[in-house]
Amino acid sequence: MHSPVTGPSTWRWVADELAARGHRVAVPAIPPAATALGWAAFVGAVGALSAGIDNPVLVGHSGAGPLLPRIGARIKARALIFVDADIPPEDGETTLVPGEFLEVLRGLASGGFLPPWSDWFGPDSFQELIPDEQARRIVSAELPALPLSYFEARVPVPIGWTSTRSGYILLSEAYAEQASKAEASSWPVARLPGAHLDIVTRPAEIADAILSIAADLSVAGQSGAGERAAGEQVSKEPVAGLQVAAGSVAGGSVAAQQVAGRQAAEEPAAGQQVAAGSVANKQAAGKQAAERVRRGRIGRRGRRTP
């Protein structure tokens, strides 16, 4: 699942990698018009485009993180994998960006709309995240210009969502606290130090991590000797035939986008216009939050381990 501020092609290369290994990959490509209606429309569009997917592992990047429990409940996902994303609280509400960064977005907005995400942090940041010109052009072509109101919403967290088996993949240091939060909850965590859009630049490594965590979650959900034997087989061939709700091989058909547009508002939009407060990291002060986004989410690559 791509972030609402990007398009499905951010996952294109990982999806191709998984498909080349024999796994089934669902590609929900959400029309920007649906996203512009708010988080509820985004979730509804995912549900419409994911009809018929049976018992998937749902993988979400960045801004999809706060919505992952709602999407997972909607499509009956058997497991969730957060990739460089904020983890919602166990109950109550979450926001779509840290409250302090919302003030930064308000400064960027013109006429109630934000520029594409690639323009939020200066002309060089996007090139640093995606050095390859062709890949950068593909991703850039799908970046929507969303209304500021999208980020001013609060999202009710589904009751009991943490009972769904979950894992975490860390890419950039900006989300190190979220990875630690996942570890504290005994989730399997893969740490791949690098940059926020390494789902574009390091698809094989990200695919490896998805399959490894999916295998861990499958084994964790089994009990009894017979099921343990099945778990051993899963370890050898992690998710053969598994439908991974991940990235984009194509932008989706016009018909599929029309279906999404008709059904986008199906998810109730209660609380959609409530002003946002702090998100998962309530300890971050305003200056620290802005720096977190500037340094980590938009281009600091960090050190890589072998």
- We report the CATH number of the domain holding residue 282 as 3.40.50.1820
Q: Is residue 262 part of a domain?
A: yes
Our count of domains for the chain comes to 1
Could you read off the pLDDT of 254-299 as tens digits, one per residue?
233 333 334 444 444 333 322 222 222 333 333 343 344 344 443 3
Q: How far is CA 104 from the centre of its chain?
A: 21
Q: Is residue 77 part of a domain?
A: yes
**Reported pTM:** 0.76
Q: Is residue 303 part of a domain?
A: no
SS (H, E, C) 264-301: HHHCCCCCCCCCCCCCCCCCCCHHHHHHHHHHHHCCCC
Q: Which residues contact 252 (CB under 8 A, 6 or more apart)?
A: 8, 27, 28, 29, 49
Q: Is residue 120 part of a domain?
A: yes
Q: Which of 301, 102, 113, 268 is nearest to 201 (CA)?
A: 301
Q: Is residue 305 part of a domain?
A: no
Q: Is residue 177 part of a domain?
A: yes
Q: Is residue 306 part of a domain?
A: no
**pLDDT value, residue 27:** 83
**Domain region containing 23:** 8-297
**pLDDT value, residue 75:** 94
**pLDDT value, residue 80:** 98
Q: Is residue 45 part of a domain?
A: yes
Per-residue pLDDT of the chain (306 residues; tens, 9 = 90+): 999 999 999 999 999 999 999 999 988 999 999 999 999 999 999 999 998 888 999 999 999 999 999 999 999 999 999 999 999 999 999 999 888 899 999 999 999 999 999 999 887 899 999 999 999 999 999 999 999 999 999 999 999 999 999 999 999 999 999 999 999 999 999 999 999 999 999 999 999 999 999 999 987 765 433 343 333 333 333 333 333 333 333 333 323 333 333 444 444 433 332 222 222 233 333 334 334 434 444 333 332 222
User: Which uninterrupted H or E stretch holds 183?
Assistant: helix 176-184
